[in-house]
Amino acid sequence: MLTGAEAPTVSSHELTVYLLSAKGDELVRRTRDYTGNVDTATAINLLVAGPTEDEKKLGLTTEVPSSSSRVYAVSNLIVLPEDMVGLTKMAQFQLYCTAIASKAKLEGVPFSGVECP
């Protein structure tokens, strides 16, 4: 019989990001699988990374600028990198809806009273 430490566990989550339709005039809800520890900033960082290849094939886009810096969550506040200035209205909606959907999922609270698709 061999003894040792407990086997490592991997945590897998479904996170929601909001992209834009091909015309750029509507938010589109997308679910992505993510393995590892997550918080609201994780979902925002997935959004900042841009659409996946499959999402690009569907014509989905983003107005959230990419950044070489990471987004951080501090309490109930999302801290964006300094190079993310002058966000468009649609980029702000994308960030807001992604943060709200993530918080609802991770904390198990209802996603209601919010104008996101």
Interval 68-106: pLDDT, tens? 888 888 877 888 988 888 899 999 999 999 988 888 887
Q: How far does CA 54 lie from the centroid of its chain?
A: 16
Q: Is the pLDDT assigned to residue 8 strictly greater than 50? A: no
For residue 17, which amino acid is it? Answer: V
Give the mean pLDDT of 12-32.
Answer: 93
pLDDT class of 11 with cuts at 50, 70, 90: low
**Among 50, 63, 61, 100, which Cα is nearest to 78's?**
100
